[in-house]
Structure 1
Amino acid sequence: MSASPGHYLEDEEKSVAGLEDTQDVYAIEAAPDRVIVRYFGKLRPLLSRLFASKVEARGVERMPENQRESKNIGNNILMWWSVNTVFDIIPIGVLAQSTFTLSFSNAVATILCFGALGAVATAFVATLGPITGLRTMIITRFSSGYLGCTIYSVLNILTQLGFATTTVIIGGQMLSNINPGTLPSIVGIIIIGVCSLIPCVFGYNMVHVYERYAWIITLTSMLFLWGLGGKAGYDINAQKPIEDIGHALSADILNFGGIVFGLFTGWAPVAADFNCRLPADTPPMRVFLLTFFGLFIPICFVGILGAALMTITDPAYVAAFESGSTGGLVAQVLSPWGHFGQFILVLLALSVIANNIPNTYSAGLSMQALGRPFAIIPRFFWVLLAFLAYTVAGVAGREHFSTILSNFLRILSYWTAFFIVIVAEEHFVFRRKNGPLGGYNLDDYDTPSKLPVGVAGILAGCFGVAGAIIGMSQASHRRCVVYTGPLGEMVGAEIGFELAAVFSAVTYLPLRALEIRLTGR
């Protein structure tokens, strides 16, 4: 039986009474709800009632070992399966032909190869959750210091809001395509946003409950879509006549590959957020494999479906795509089933909620990771702010979805590439058991004077940005060049994320070694 709000507040008074002489009340990990309530005088009764109603109070505080949950780790793969077996992965496969004119076979090969690379990177970051008991952005403090964590948090806030914006747009467009003229896309965007918000307000447990089962309905709907697409007629050679050849083909593959890599590594900055409550002795390899397959299988399955749908040459289907983009094409594929097809379309539109929940949840955590003044504000407040931001952005940018999606994912791949490299080198080189630092002193996660100064991490990140700038080749969905860096122009292709990773990898090791030698931390 849950405690009543009155008992909760009374318990809070007793608990906080023993903390009067504690200078760093925020760092008390055992009872973040009681600490937060203490900071808000007139709002204390309201906050106490919310927390007593199972609204999650825990934010970016470390999860103590004695409060970890020994739940079936298999739930981890089910979560990622739900998050990525969603409709908004289909437009990624569509981009292979609509933007880069790749044939079906080359689209599939690119999705598989660049997807595997991105899944490996994200799965590594996921292993750090049980090891540290920390959220992903807080883990960066051990490589880039307090200031570096703040910078990464800002980048991640923009990343999650960007993902959420594209998600609500595609979901809203899908809902408006179910019965054209009856539901404006603006209303559809708001519906998707609100449905994504509710589990995130309640927090970690509610998120996992929803994601544990959401994939079942969506996977069934995707199988229907595969079958009806086959009935309409897949022609895997349809793009062959318009596909580029030689160097231009290589450029198309690299450009599309950067988008696929960004799609996979877009989860890296939040990968540890959803398993930091697993016991510290959870085998890292098990976490790695479950996360890898939870990402790789569904994203490839749905992305390849998008590429396959673009091979349908029936004029009615081609016209549906030209007039209604991906949503119009899918609606046409389901049209033979009449009202039942419309029902499947509703389920596919609502599937994006599962994808948007982690974006919304982790955006709030990244806002808390900006520093102590932000961390003491309840997580649910930041979640509400994130919801408002991406819903407004979705309404404003709904007419430019293809441009937003393609350019956003490529830019995303730049910073996640050097972020992953820096965190990995810190973990495997400097924090290894017999390394210079001998592991993580996890009690230091919120003490700037005991964390790295951050110069090495920040400078290596700057070098990564430089690599991305000179290697990028950004273009609009009409293939008009927006910006091309000198090496990108020399190669004639998008190599921004590759250079970002290489530049950071080469510079971080010596810079960090020097930082440790001079500061000892």
Structure 2
Amino acid sequence: MSAEEKYPVERDLQKGDATSTLTGGDREIAELGISEPVTALQRFCNRLDALCGVEARGIERIPEELRERVMTYRDYIHMFTIWFSMNCTANQLTLGVLGPVSYGLGLTDSIVLCMFGTIFGSLCTGYISTFGPASGLRTLNVAKYTMGWWPSKLCVILNLCIELGYGLIDSLVGGLLLSAVNGGGMSVIVGIVIVALITWVVVTFGIKWFYKFEQFVWAPTVLVLFVLIGVAGPHFDTATPSSGSGAVLHGNRLSYFFLVASGPLSWSSAAADYVVYYPKSTNRWATFAATTCGITCGKLLIEFLGIGLGSGLLKNPTWQSSFDAHGIGALVVEAYKPLNTFGDFCCVILAVCIAANNIPGTYAAALNWQQLGAPFAKIPRPIWSTFSCVLFTIIAIAGRDNLFSIFINWLSLIGYWVIMWITMTIQDEFIFRKGVFDWETWNRKDLLPHGWAALFAFVIGWVGAVLCMYQTYFTGPIAALVGNGADLGLPVACGLTMFVYPPARWLELKFVGR
């Protein structure tokens, strides 16, 4: 089966009667299923779509007839592969290193917590991804059915913070790696710009290039990671136990578990965006399994390596000094140093392939800008992707000296709001809707829920998260009760939301009606 037959975005659509009278570029645009352009910018992007495949489609629903085809096992393998590629990237090393370095956990503790935290977060994202083929809608358009018209805008704003934050982190790690390989001769700024440019090219062209890039980029990454296992593995510290005891140790374990879980959780708010072109007939359980397994396998391969590098810092003074001076990029370069020039080549591969993680986030961010409201939706997706790349590049350059503090403070906050939204989505689907959605009303303000119940549960969940959060800038009064502090914000926010939303939604349906 050819690639054109496998993926609806890569095959020609059959010509219908409605396009029989069109000629030239107008016929090509109509065949792509693109709606009537409302601005000159959209008209220009539609032409680019017809001529060279720049994805012009934005947040509008993709009709079932444009997606319909026969699914095969290869499609699900492809789904697994893109999720694996998106998560098996060098920036994930940072999350692994945090276990031994920031929480004082031993190798075994870190690996066990990382594994189960990653599985938990991946399961949540796997669930949300199933709405893509079922609805033909982008993720945060689906959120309107739970959060309502206006409250869903809050999810859009928070997701923009996620995607731009990851753009900053990915570009910065790539820049640090390239600079460290060059012995500091290349500025970190130049490295950041290189990663951002690769991201911009793929994201601007859209889903076709995104699929093709992610389908193959995992291979060089995995090869150089196995080289890293061979050269650095003997230096991992497998004997030193976790520091601390009693409540202090348990608090550190809890904090690291939920920090790691926040990583895959952060994909939830964009999970459906990457599979939205799959047909409605796509098996929901297979989509769930392919997404969950792809994220878990990709993350664990690289994060376990990060844990090993972090555990080896105390045993290797050169590793420690490199890490203290120049961060994770210098640590990776130092680990490869016994291989000389070939080690530098491996580092360059890792740096360039970080774009595999940055591309999907920036793709989702471009759609999020359009979801802010009608005036934003009139600006085509390729322009928003360009704006997003410029924005996170500037922020990454400005904040290049504070990667660790940015990362550890950023990721936990992501998990708080995402877990609340997922909790409400599950309850809404299975308690109130019984699995029945009218996807045709996705843009009907008069038919969608007002969202008062969801907003109320969201606020209550945030109150719990603040009381139980454990961050460098703030420790909640409840979090402070566990040892030296433990980040309990994520489970408490989930529990409060789970308790508050059903009765609030029942009251909303009873007195408001929708």
Judge same fold: TM > 0.5, yes or no. Answer: yes
Aligned to 1:25: none
User: SS in structure 2 opposite 1:404?
Assistant: helix
Deviates more, 1:397-406 or 1:511-520: 511-520
CA distance in 2, matches of 1:469, 1:256: 17
User: SS in structure 2 opposite 1:288?
Assistant: helix
Aligned to 1:101: 104
Letter in 2 for 1:468: A
- Which of 45, 56, 63 is residue 47 of structure 1 equivalent to? 45
CA distance in 2, matches of 1:59, 1:292: 26
CA distance in 2, matches of 1:296, 1:181: 34
Letter in 2 for 1:107: S
Aligned to 1:291: 291
Aligned to 2:476: 485
CA distance in 2, matches of 1:64, 1:364: 21
- Which of 183, 188, 192 is residue 191 of structure 2 equivalent to? 188
User: SS in structure 2 opposite 1:186?
Assistant: helix
Aligned to 1:517: 510
User: Residues 453 and 501 of structure 2 are in contact (CA less than 8 Å); yes or no, is this contact kept in structure 1?
Assistant: yes
Alignment of 1:472 onto 2:469: yes
- Which of 446, 451, 475 is residue 449 of structure 1 equivalent to? 446
Aligned to 1:221: 224
User: Residues 32 and 57 of structure 1 are in contact (CA less than 8 Å); yes or no, is this contact kept in structure 2?
Assistant: no
CA distance in 1, matches of 2:443, 2:306: 44
User: Residues 237 and 311 of structure 1 are in contact (CA less than 8 Å); yes or no, is this contact kept in structure 2?
Assistant: no
Structure 2 CA distance for partners of 1:368 and 1:298, relative to 1, 3 Å: same
User: Residues 321 and 328 of structure 1 are in contact (CA less than 8 Å); yes or no, is this contact kept in structure 2?
Assistant: yes
* Shift of residue 31, structure 1, vs aligned partner: 6.4
Aligned to 1:332: 334
User: SS in structure 2 opposite 1:189?
Assistant: helix
CA distance in 2, matches of 1:292, 1:270: 14
1:390-412: CA deviation from partner (whole Å, max 9, x where unpaired)? 10110011100000000000111
* Shift of residue 76, structure 1, vs aligned partner: 0.7
Letter in 2 for 1:409: L
Deviates more, 1:489-498 or 1:450-459: 489-498
- Which of 76, 79, 83 is residue 82 of structure 2 equivalent to? 79
* Shift of residue 117, structure 1, vs aligned partner: 1.1
Aligned to 2:248: 248
User: SS in structure 1 opposite 2:360?
Assistant: helix
* Shift of residue 181, structure 1, vs aligned partner: 2.8
Deviates more, 1:424-433 or 1:353-362: 424-433
* Shift of residue 206, structure 1, vs aligned partner: 1.3
- Which of 432, 437, 441 is residue 440 of structure 1 equivalent to? 437
Aligned to 2:4: none
* Shift of residue 11, structure 1, vs aligned partner: 4.1
Letter in 2 for 1:191: I
User: SS in structure 2 opposite 1:120?
Assistant: helix
User: Residues 9 and 45 of structure 1 are in contact (CA less than 8 Å); yes or no, is this contact kept in structure 2?
Assistant: no
- Which of 336, 359, 369 is residue 357 of structure 1 equivalent to? 359
- Which of 428, 447, 458 is residue 455 of structure 2 equivalent to? 458
Aligned to 1:319: 321
Alignment of 1:206 onto 2:205: no
1:3-41: CA deviation from partner (whole Å, max 9, x where unpaired)? 9xx95554489x7xxxxxxxxxxxxxx9664423x322x
TM-score, with length taken from structure 2? 0.91
Letter in 1 for 2:148: G
Counterparts of residues 112-261 of structure 1 (less than 5 Å): 112-231=115-234, 233-238=235-240, 240=241, 243-261=243-261
CA distance in 1, matches of 2:111, 2:26: 60
Aligned to 2:415: 413
Q: What root-mean-square deviation, in Å, do the aligned CA atoms of Structure 1 and Structure 2 show?
A: 2.0
Number of residue pairs aligned between Structure 1 and Structure 2: 487
CA distance in 2, matches of 1:132, 1:318: 50
Aligned to 2:19: none
User: Residues 140 and 148 of structure 1 are in contact (CA less than 8 Å); yes or no, is this contact kept in structure 2?
Assistant: no
CA distance in 2, matches of 1:118, 1:45: 40
CA distance in 1, matches of 2:151, 2:32: 27
User: Residues 262 and 410 of structure 1 are in contact (CA less than 8 Å); yes or no, is this contact kept in structure 2?
Assistant: yes
Aligned to 1:496: 489
CA distance in 2, matches of 1:66, 1:32: 10
Question: What 5-or-longer segments of structure 1 have no aligned partner?
Answer: 16-29, 434-438, 476-481
Aligned to 1:272: 272
CA distance in 1, matches of 2:288, 2:67: 19
User: Residues 45 and 56 of structure 2 are in contact (CA less than 8 Å); yes or no, is this contact kept in structure 1?
Assistant: no
Letter in 2 for 1:345: C
* Shift of residue 237, structure 1, vs aligned partner: 1.9
Deviates more, 1:252-261 or 1:167-176: 252-261
Letter in 2 for 1:456: A
Counterparts of residues 391-430 of structure 1 (less than 5 Å): 391-430=393-432
CA distance in 2, matches of 1:264, 1:314: 31
Letter in 1 for 2:181: I
Structure 2 CA distance for partners of 1:336 and 1:7, relative to 1, 3 Å: farther
CA distance in 2, matches of 1:426, 1:366: 23
User: Residues 69 and 277 of structure 1 are in contact (CA less than 8 Å); yes or no, is this contact kept in structure 2?
Assistant: no
- Which of 373, 376, 381 is residue 375 of structure 2 equivalent to? 373
* Shift of residue 208, structure 1, vs aligned partner: 0.8
CA distance in 2, matches of 1:138, 1:469: 27
CA distance in 2, matches of 1:33, 1:379: 13
CA distance in 2, matches of 1:260, 1:44: 40
Give the 4+ runs in structure 1 shifted more than 6 A.
Answer: none
Alignment of 1:344 onto 2:342: no
Aligned to 1:505: 498
Letter in 1 for 2:430: F
TM-score, with length taken from structure 1? 0.90
User: Residues 118 and 265 of structure 1 are in contact (CA less than 8 Å); yes or no, is this contact kept in structure 2?
Assistant: yes
* Shift of residue 221, structure 1, vs aligned partner: 0.9
Structure 2 CA distance for partners of 1:31 and 1:149, relative to 1, 3 Å: farther
